[in-house]
Amino acid sequence: MGRRRQAVTIKHVAADAGVSLQTVSRVINNEPNVRPEMREKVQASIDRLGYVPSIAAQRMSGSRSYLILALNDRERTIADWRARQGTDWVDQMLLGGMLECAEHGYRLIFELVDTHNDHVERELTAAIAALQPDGAILTPPHSDNPKILAVLARHKVPFARIGAQTSEKGLPPGILVSMDDEGGARTATRHLLDLGHRRIGFISGPTEYRLAGKRVEGWRAEMEAAGLGVDGLLEAGDFTYQSGVRAARALLTRPDRPSAIIASNDQMALATVEIADELGLSIPADLSLVSFDNTPLVRFTRPALTAVDQPIADTTARAVRMLIASHRKPDADMGPVVMPMGFEIRGSTAPFGKGG
C-alpha cells in the first residue's frame, strides 16, 4: 500500500512563493491591496502545487468566516423527510445555495429552526456564536419572523429574506428576494380562463406563509379581472396531503362544484387527484387541475400535472450572491428582487366541457 499523499497547505504555498501567510490569504480572497506582480507569483505557486484553499486560510485575512447560514423550518422539513415524500424544496435550495457559495469561495451551512419554538432566539444565538456566519438565508415562514430578524440584526449578521417583498415597520428590512407567487397564480388562473373555465377553485396554503396569501391574491385578482366571483371557491389547506384531501372534498362535493382547481402545492394537488378519482371524476375531462411547485412527482402522475414552476435554486443563488456582494459593496442597491415563475402545461388541463 502506497503512502497517503500529503495535503498541500497554505504554508506550502507561502514557502514556495517566498511570501507571508497573510499575503497568500489576501490573494486567495481576491483582495485589492496586493501588487499585481505579487498576485501573479502567489497564483503561480498555487497552480504549481495544486493547492485548494480552505476556509481556515480564507479567514486569516480578516474577520470573515466565509460561511452562509441557511435556515429552514424544522418541523415541516423533518416531517417530509420521515414520510419520504417527494418534495424537493430543500434539495433545490441547497443546489442553488451551495453552488453559488462555491463560486465565491464560501460554504453553505444548513440549519433547521422551529419558528414556533419559544427557544428560537436561544437556538439561533447559539448557532451564530458557533459559526460566526457572514450572512443568513431565511426561508418562509422564518423570513417574516420578527424574533429571528431581531437576533440576526443584534449580532450584525446580514440576511436575505426569501419570500419577503416588503419591509415592515419595526423590522430590519434585510435583502428581499422573492418568487412571484402572485404572478404565478395569475398565470395559472389565466390559463384556465383561456380554456373556458369559469368556476375555478383554489386550495390555499397556511396563513403563516405570506406566499400563500400572495397566491390567493393572484387568483382572486385574475378572476375579478374576468368579471367572475369567487364565493364558495376557496378552501384553506396547510401544504399537507391530508389538508388537500379535506379541501378538495369540500370543493368537489358542492352542487356547483368547480370545473377546475388550482392547488397551492404539489401535495395538495395530488390529494385532489385522489378525491377526484374517489368521486368518479376524470382529469382533465371532468376536472382540470393546476399545481404549484412542479416537483418530480407531478411529472410522473397520469395525467402529468400542469404546474407553476418555482425557481427555488435560482432564487437561493441570487440571495447568496447579494449577501456576498453586500460585504464587498455595503452601499450598493440590494433589491428588492422578484424572480419570475415558470409555467409547465401538461395533460391535467383541458378546455371546459370536454366530458363534463
Confidence tier at 190 by pLDDT (50, 70, 90): very high
73-82, long-range: CB within 8 Å, 24+ apart, which pairs? Answer: 73/112, 73/113, 73/114, 73/115, 73/139, 73/140, 73/141, 73/142, 74/112, 74/113, 74/114, 74/117, 75/114, 75/116, 76/239, 77/112, 78/112
Domain for residue 2, yes or no?
no
Domain for residue 241, yes or no?
yes
Domain for residue 350, yes or no?
no
Q: Is 314 exposed, middle or buried (0-12, 13-18, 19+ CB in 10 A)?
A: middle
Same-domain pairing of 50 and 106:
no
Q: Is the pTM of this model over 0.85?
A: no
Q: Which domain holds residue 78?
A: 67-180+312-340
Same-domain pairing of 296 and 201:
yes
Domain for residue 261, yes or no?
yes
Matching residue, cell 502567489: 42
pLDDT surpasses 50 at 5: no
Tell me the CATH number at 274: 3.40.50.2300
**Of residues 114 and 100, more confidently modeled:** 100
Same-domain pairing of 162 and 277:
no
Retrieve residue 228's grid coordinates: 367572475
Which of 131-135, 208-212, 265-269 tops mean pLDDT?
A: 265-269
Q: Is 332 exposed, middle or buried (0-12, 13-18, 19+ CB in 10 A)?
A: exposed
Domain for residue 127, yes or no?
yes
Same-domain pairing of 100 and 242:
no
Last residue of a domain, one of 19, 41, 59: 59
Lowest model confidence (mean pLDDT) among 137-151, 186-200, 223-237:
137-151
Domain for residue 348, yes or no?
no
If we measure between CA atoms, which residue out of 301, 284, 283, 285 comes closest to residue 293? 301
Same-domain pairing of 210 and 290:
yes
> CA 167: distance to chain centroid?
19
Same-domain pairing of 81 and 174:
yes
Domain for residue 260, yes or no?
yes
The 3-state DSSP class for residue 204 equals: strand
Outline where DSSP puts E strands in 139-242. Answer: 159-162, 175-179, 200-204, 234-236
Query: Is 165:178 a contact under the CB 8 Å cutoff?
Result: yes
Same-domain pairing of 176 and 186:
no
Same-domain pairing of 202 and 227:
yes
The 3-state DSSP class for residue 201 equals: strand
Same-domain pairing of 191 and 104:
no
Tell me the CATH number at 53: 1.10.260.40
Last residue of a domain, one of 59, 75, 99: 59
How many folded domains does the chain comprise? 3
Same-domain pairing of 222 and 161:
no
Same-domain pairing of 261 and 334:
no
What tens digit of pLDDT does each residue of 10-64 get? 788 888 888 887 788 777 766 667 788 888 888 888 888 877 766 555 555 555 6
Same-domain pairing of 214 and 122:
no
Q: What's the chain's length in residues?
A: 356
Domain for residue 169, yes or no?
yes
